[in-house]
Structure 1
Amino acid sequence: MSIPSLSPFSGFLQIAYVTTDVDEAIARFAAEHNVPAWARLPGIEIESMGGRHCKLNIALAFVGPTQLELIEPLSGDDRIYREALPQTGFAIRHHHFAQLIESEAAFDTQREQMAASGVSIVVDGQSPGAARYFYTDHRATLGHYIEHIWYTPAGLAGMKQLPRNGEVQ
């Protein structure tokens, strides 16, 4: 197995959590972690893998330079998000860290190297005009997934519009 030239830990951007109720998760992040301001993306459909899609409630916020993401799976090919959650009751569970990749060429190279090294790619999609992304499964060695994401200039501009919260106390 070869090791990819770009570490999955470089360009750290985001901490993502899955939840059974995004509204309750936002309320708890506000009350318990001083993160009250979120952008909500209700019922958004994303590409999960090979033309399959899932529907999610997503909330995004920044705390300093770190983006937080809350994901509530709703339907479709959402197993990757739903599998970490209990069948009943409220929960928030860590799901992945996201790595921002600086160029589309570097994104393509990293994706090819990850696949060639035998790392399982479990999500592979794009938001046309905004981003390309893939998730690698590192649960056996790190306990979580890693999302690798490249944003178009329009996607980066959109990130600048996300709510900014002060440093967590």
Structure 2
Amino acid sequence: MKTPSLSPFSGFLQIAYVTTDVDEAIERFRREQKVPTWARLQGIEIESIAGRRCKLNIALAFVGAVQLELIEPLCGDDRVYRDALPRDGFAIRHHHIAQLIESEAAFETQREEMAAAGVPIVIDGQSHGAARYFYTDHRGTLGHYIEHIWYTPAGLAVMEQVPRNGVVQ
């Protein structure tokens, strides 16, 4: 088993949470974590694995250089998100961190190396010419997934529109 050449912690971008209610999660992050401004993507459809899709409500915000993501699974092939949540009541659960990969070539290399190393890839898709991504399952060793993402120039331009919140002292 070959160790991947690029650490999944290089290019750290994001901390992501799954929730049963993205509206309530935003309100709690505003009130309790002092993150007031969010971009919302309602009912966005993503590719989970080739040929399978899921629908999610997503909210994004930056605090300093770190992006926060809130994900509410709605339907489709959303088990990777839904499995972390209770069946009843409101919840927010840590789900993954994300690594920004700087080039498509580095993305391809990392994906190939992770697969060769036997790291389970549980999400593998692309987003309408804006990004390519895959999630690796590190729950057994780290307690969470890692998302590996590469943005096209158009995708990076969209990410520049995500609200920037100052770091609260």
* TM-score normalised to structure 1 length: 0.99
Task: Specify the SS of the correspondent of 1:24.
Answer: helix
Identify unmatched segments of 5+ residues in structure 1: none
Superposition pairs of residues 55-134 of structure 1, within 5 angstroms: 55-134=55-134
For the residues of structure 2 that align with 1:40 and 1:149, how far apart are their CA atoms?
19
Superposition pairs of residues 1-169 of structure 1, within 5 angstroms: 1-169=1-169
User: For 1:121-150, what per-residue CA distance to the aligned partner results, in whole angstroms no more than 9, with x for missing partners?
Assistant: 000000121000000000000000000000
For the residues of structure 1 that align with 2:128 and 2:23, how far apart are their CA atoms?
27
* TM-score normalised to structure 2 length: 0.99
For the residues of structure 2 that align with 1:109 and 1:168, how far apart are their CA atoms?
38
For the residues of structure 2 that align with 1:101 and 1:78, how far apart are their CA atoms?
24
Task: Specify the SS of the correspondent of 2:157.
Answer: helix
Shift in Å at residue 50 of structure 1? 1.9
Identify unmatched segments of 5+ residues in structure 2: none
Q: Give the CA RMSD over aligned residues.
A: 0.6
For the residues of structure 1 that align with 2:168 and 2:66, how far apart are their CA atoms?
11
**What amino acid sits opposite 1:162 in the alignment?**
V
Deviation >6 Å, runs of 4+: none
Shift in Å at residue 168 of structure 1? 3.1
Task: Specify the SS of the correspondent of 1:119.
Answer: coil
For the residues of structure 1 that align with 2:109 and 2:66, how far apart are their CA atoms?
25
